[in-house]
Amino acid sequence: MGENRRRDLFRHLIDDNADDYLAIVTCLSGTLVSDLSAADIAARIPGSPLSADIVEQRCRRLVEWGNLTATRPVGVNTDTDRDRFRVTVFGGRVHREATAVLTAHDGARDVAREVLGLIASDLDRLTDALRTARVDPDAVAGLVTSVFTHHRTFTDSIADFYAHLADVLARLELSRDDVGRLKTLLLEYVDLLDGDVTSHTPVIAARLGALIPRLDPLLAALPGPPVPDGTPVARPAGRARSDWEELAAWYAADAGPRQLREAAGQALGRLLGHTRRHLAPAGAGGSRRSDLLALAGRFAESSDAQAHRLFTAAFAAYPSRHLLLGPDEPDPRIGPGTSWWDADPVPVPVSLRERGDRSPRGHSARVPDPTADRRRIAALARADTDARRAAAAELAAAGDLNGATVSAAARELLLDRLAALLARHRTLDTAVRVHDSDLGLCLHAAPGPDTVVHGPDGDLTVHAVLLRATVVDSWQVSAQ
């Protein structure tokens, strides 16, 4: 019965007066814990022709559906004063979701790839927080909420992206521009996404594997619900053991990452099928008579020089070029400088020569195996990781960075770690540090003289901050 009752919360979205209902709920949602009368609502709706009586009727219907609740202040005249209305909990939640859908833009949603690195960083900080002698419950709760919020953002954006991709690929006809955009989307963006997932998910899985055995002290350190009298409270994700087990299961190698790779492979196969079926011109029997008549008319109106240029543009008959990389030439003397006029003719299929039909015959070719591309991306990711580790080792070997001479890669890594440190500590009143357990690098910063780092293409000056780099034992951090 409760489920059927909550279905009524969506009735105002498909009603004939849906615009009125949305305007009323939007007006009431703009205030927090505030009751408004029908007259107040009518006055606050911008440019609304609704009278107070009509708003009263609409509000009554919303009360019946569960979107609003009606209240009457204590001690007022029940005959002359009317009810006041406010949004219910579920009514406000439905309105927020509906507004997000109604105002969303069409097209592919960008996948929040950057949150994978934030998840790994938050898990490191959570491990550090649990190792301290006195655990800060609020800090632990903030990190737990951050981990699950970032994971929800990533999975939701992934679902929206592949839903849009499947919707586009499900079209019966795709234009050449559509196929070009999809090719770029799949061959570049999806491969980039797969590379990020391949690079970050093993790190996240290792962090979660080390954290799962310590869930009992972690859950015990989280603050309790705000209502201690037994009233049911919907707590955020990460407050139960099952939440962490599901998170670890998603980042396992044969779960979420495998599903993303399979979805990318299926999308690529469907794109190739569309390319073969829908980009070929019309089949046998298609007439080009009107096109040829128009071309003949342009020839008739052209001078000799213009006619030669028109013929070259229309038929791509460039006399001094001979394209290779096609069928093997029987005569080895034929090269790129051989004119088509002097070269042997190229065999042309009968369907193309007689009917102008380029539709493919026979069975479709097999979808190419993307394993080589995946290996190439993985190799690039490993090379990038090795380069960053070499840069981290160079910074750690330098120690005190004031006056040190480092490579361009080490300087870029220093700027990246310095940005992370300043984002976490906006003021440097005392000595602070930030570490990257993957690279085994810890950057220390303290108030002091300027730090000048020399590089091959210039000097980097950090004013009023003394910087020092040390080594971090990443294996020890992962095991704890």
Q: What pLDDT does residue 272 have?
A: 64
- 2-102 domain in CATH 1.10.10.10? yes
Question: Between residues 134 and 7, which one has the greater pLDDT?
Answer: 7
Is residue 316 within 8 A of residue 340, CB to CB? The reply is no
Q: What pLDDT does residue 469 have?
A: 93
Q: What pLDDT does residue 356 have?
A: 66
Tokens of 337: 């400088």
Question: Where does the pLDDT of residue 74 fall: very low under 50, low under 70, confident under 90, or very high at 90 and above?
Answer: low
Q: What pLDDT does residue 478 have?
A: 41
Please name which of 120, 113, 210 lies closest in space to residue 438, comparing C-alpha atoms.
120
pLDDT above 70 as % of the chain:
70
Cβ-based neighbour number of residue 103 at 10 Å: 7
Measure CA 457 to chain center. 35
- How far apart CA 154 and CA 166 sit, in angstroms, is 18
User: Is 50 exceeded by the pLDDT of residue 476?
Assistant: no
- How far apart CA 82 and CA 74 sit, in angstroms, is 12
Q: What pLDDT does residue 407 have?
A: 92
Kind of pairing between the strands at 465-471 and 84-87: unpaired
Question: Between residues 224 and 309, which one has the greater pLDDT?
Answer: 309
pTM of this prediction? 0.47
Question: Where does the pLDDT of residue 479 fall: very low under 50, low under 70, confident under 90, or very high at 90 and above?
Answer: very low
Rounded mean pLDDT of 233-241?
73
User: Is 80 exceeded by the pLDDT of residue 56?
Assistant: yes
Q: Which tens digit of pLDDT belongs to each residue from 346-359?
A: 777 777 767 666 66
Question: Where does the pLDDT of residue 406 fall: very low under 50, low under 70, confident under 90, or very high at 90 and above?
Answer: very high
Task: Report the range of poorest mean pLDDT among 42-46, 172-176, 197-201.
Answer: 172-176
User: Is 90 exceeded by the pLDDT of residue 453?
Assistant: yes
User: Is 70 exceeded by the pLDDT of residue 335?
Assistant: no
User: Is 50 exceeded by the pLDDT of residue 18?
Assistant: yes
Q: What pLDDT does residue 330 have?
A: 54
Rounded mean pLDDT of 18-34?
78
Q: What pLDDT does residue 451 have?
A: 92
- How far apart CA 441 and CA 452 sit, in angstroms, is 19
Q: What pLDDT does residue 3 have?
A: 57
User: Is 60 exceeded by the pLDDT of residue 412?
Assistant: yes
Q: What pLDDT does residue 228 have?
A: 52
Residue 468, C-beta contacts closer than 8 angstroms, at least 6 positions apart: 399, 400, 401, 443, 444, 445, 446
Q: What pLDDT does residue 325 have?
A: 46
Q: What pLDDT does residue 395 have?
A: 92
Q: What pLDDT does residue 183 have?
A: 66
User: Is 80 exceeded by the pLDDT of residue 39?
Assistant: yes
Q: Which tens digit of pLDDT belongs to each residue from 267-319?
A: 666 666 665 555 454 444 445 677 788 888 898 999 988 888 888 888 766 55
- Residue spans of the domains in the chain: they are 2-102, 115-225+236-278, 389-479
Q: What pLDDT does residue 273 have?
A: 66
Q: Which tens digit of pLDDT belongs to each residue from 175-223?
A: 666 666 666 666 666 667 777 777 788 888 888 888 888 777 777 777 6
